[in-house]
Structure 1
Amino acid sequence: MTIKEINYLDCSRSSFLLIKQESEKYWEQVDLQDCWGFQIQEGSRWKKGLSESELEDFQKQLNITFPEPLKNFYRTMNGLDKPGIDNNGGTEEIDFGPIFYSYPNDVPTIQLTIEWIMDANKVTAEIMNDQNVPSIFPYFGHRFLILDHEEIVLSMFGSDIIHWADNLSKGIAKDIFSLYSKIKTKKINTSSFWNRKIG
């Protein structure tokens, strides 16, 4: 998938279907790097998308209302059929774990990841309500969709928070096709609570 194609992605089901098709081709041959962090295994494929009733249950378990982009993502695909592999920088120790979070297996991981970010930034439920702070949803590692009217993606590692992509489909494509430094992003809107470090 080219940068030009990614720049045209919206969050329709057709955009997610295109990502699904192109990524499965891309993963037919994968060279694992000697690095830390989970990498996608060769031959990985997406699991089938969720039904409307599964989507409803997913939202209920998390007590979060999904915006349409997130629903469209999970309607199209629901995690990978192979776990991610972490070769710990080329050492002999190998770990396995989820890459793209899926329902229902990764619901506890999603909950813990949200709690980690909230704790690291000293955000409580009261602060969220009083300051109208949007909910966050991790879909991949420490990439979070911000569940408000802008629905941007932030990379959130504890209190280290940076703008990652303008929408969910672009964020997913950016990670899959390893285009970290080649896709321009908008300047962060510092008036948005989650777009700045919390002191």
Structure 2
Amino acid sequence: MNWREFKSLTESEWYDCDLYEGVCGYQIQPETRWNSGLTHNEIDSLQKKLGFSVPSMYRTFLSELNGFDQDCVDFQAETAPEIYGRICYQYPEDLENTKWLLEEIEQNRKYVNEALQLEGFPFDDIEGYIALYGHRALVVFKNKSLSPVISIVGTDVGVYGKSLEEYWKKELCVNSLG
């Protein structure tokens, strides 16, 4: 995947995107941009903090993109105020903020393993997880050519993308990239 092209395409989509009041769930604000990527040394340092090496595709992604430059907005209900929050995680800043998702994955490991097995992934070869966006996480295997992304809310677990590339295209509705 050409992550620079992906960045350009998504940022142009967000430049004048609409927000939908009354719709629950975080929405990307107009004029949102991706943060600059990490240097090779910063990625190496992140891997040390994680305790495992990241897949090559994620390493390339991180060298170009690292979360959004502004929080997303959620209109909870007509009577509730807007809530802003970081939904697209950036590293290393969000290592602490994403522990909840890693704990949820561990608590529901049986369901995570079942979801991965159904999609043909070797769940006994997992090194760790990296929170990406909301309740979605990259599964990191010993085989670094694998990069599936799971979606997890309690025991409701599914493979949301069989690769990091497939995941981001689906998450951000990018169909025009080959």
- What is the aligned length? 160
Instruction: State the shift of 1:122 in Å.
Output: 6.2
Distance in 2 of aligned mates of 1:29 and 1:177: 16
Asked whether 1:153 is paired with 2:140, we answer no
Identity within the alignment, %: 27
Residue 75 (structure 2) pairs with residue 92 (structure 1): no
- 1:62–1:111 Cα contact (<8 Å) kept: no
Name which of 136, 145, 151 aligns with 1:143.
Answer: 136
- 1:59-103 C-alpha deviation (Å, 9 max, x unpaired): 222223211111111101111111111111444322111121101
The structure carrying a bigger strand percent of its residues is 2
Write the letter of the residue equivalent to 2:152. Answer: M
Return closer, same or farther for 1:43/1:159 CA change in 2, 3 Å cut-off.
same
Instruction: Output the amino acid matched with 2:40.
Output: E
Q: TM-score with structure 1 length normalisation?
A: 0.72
| Structure 2 Cα separation of the partners of residues 65 and 48 of structure 1 | 21
Maintained 8 Å contact 2:135/2:151: yes
Where does the alignment leave 5 or more consecutive residues of structure 2 unmatched? 112-123
SS at match of 1:73: helix
Q: Find the aligned partners of 2:33 and 2:97 in 1 and give their Cα distance.
A: 21
Contact 1:50 1:76 in 2 (8 A): yes
**Corresponding residue for residue 184 of structure 1:** none
Quote the Cα distance in structure 2 between the aligned partners of 1:83 and 1:59: 25
| 8 A Cα contact 2:10 2:174, kept in partner | no
1:75 paired with 2:63, answer yes
Q: Deviations over 1:174-197 (max 9, x none)?
A: 111277xxxxxxxxxxxxxxxxxx
| Pair 1:32-2:19 in alignment | yes
Closer, same or farther in 2 for the Cα pair 1:20/1:135, shift >3 Å? Answer: same
- Aligned-residue CA RMSD in angstroms? 2.2
Unaligned runs of 5+ residues in structure 1 are: 1-9, 124-130, 180-199
Aligned twin of 1:165: 161
Tell me the CA shift for residue 154 of structure 1.
1.8
SS in 1 for 2:35: strand
1:25 alignment partner AA: S
CA distance in 2, matches of 1:40, 1:65: 30
